[in-house]
Chains A and B, each alone.
Chain A
Amino acid sequence: GAVVSQHPSRVICKSGTSVKIECRSLDFQATTMFWYRQFPKKSLMLMATSNEGSKATYEQGVEKDKFLINHASLTLSTLTVTSAHPEDSSFYICSAKYRGSRSTEAFFGQGTRLTVV
């Protein structure tokens, strides 16, 4: 089956620093990856769509300068939270879609819990 690996699973960083989260498709190529944010006991909110070799498309209200997304290869997308603040603390989840596939199924990483202190 398709596996998406997200790293790290947990990270604690100091306020004002930056933290990078990686999302890798381990056994398939993904031209499109998605980044979500999930607040406690809430739903997943799409932050941005990451396309390999091009700029990410951000959802309304998401600061692109704060949440930097890079999709440099067909198997890796990264989300960098810059100048993190406590309000950025959340659970971040990525998902990936098969390259060139008509399949509608997205495969999810295991998520990253970010705590900014």
Chain B
Amino acid sequence: AQTVTQSQPEMSVQEAETVTLSCTYDTSENNYYLFWYKQPPSRQMILVIRQEAYKQQNATENRFSVNFQKAAKSFSLKISDSQLGDTAMYFCALLTSGTYKYIFGTGTRLKVLA
């Protein structure tokens, strides 16, 4: 069975500070992908960042970066210079190439404080 676990239901961070959201996963597949999606109050799911499991280098997208620890099956998201617009629900997701089905974690509600 494939699982995605987000152990932090809620987090808050001061504007301009850095915050890290945790995610662990489990899969027996060798070929898979990991994602962080953002769901703001509008409920529109927005892709934040993506990581291919076969790549050792951690993905980076502007202020967003990941710490991918394959052996530990850990995939954390770091948001630098947090902005008020980063306030949202963040979902970690796993996709295996065999099924092409997304498995989502339970989400972390992030609030950026002014």
Residues of chain A at the chain B interface (Cβ within 8 Å): 32, 34, 41-46, 49, 91, 93, 95, 97, 104-106, 108, 110-111
Contact = CB atoms under 8 A, between A and B. Distances in A.
Nearest to B109: A41
Interface in B26-68: 33, 35, 37, 42-47, 50
A43 B106 contact: yes
Contacts, number: 45
B interface, size bucket:
20 to 34
17 contacts: A32-B100, A42-B106, A43-B91, A43-B104, A43-B107, A44-B91, A45-B104, A46-B101, A49-B101, A93-B43, A95-B102, A104-B50, A105-B50, A108-B44, A108-B45, A108-B46, A110-B43
Given A32-B100, A44-B91, A93 B106 contact: no
Interface of B: 33, 35, 37, 42-47, 50, 91, 95, 97, 100-107, 109
Contact of B104 (A44, A49, A105): A44
Contact of A104 (B33, B42, B104): B33
Most buried by A among B37, B100, B109: B100
Contact of A93 (B35, B45, B101, B107): B45
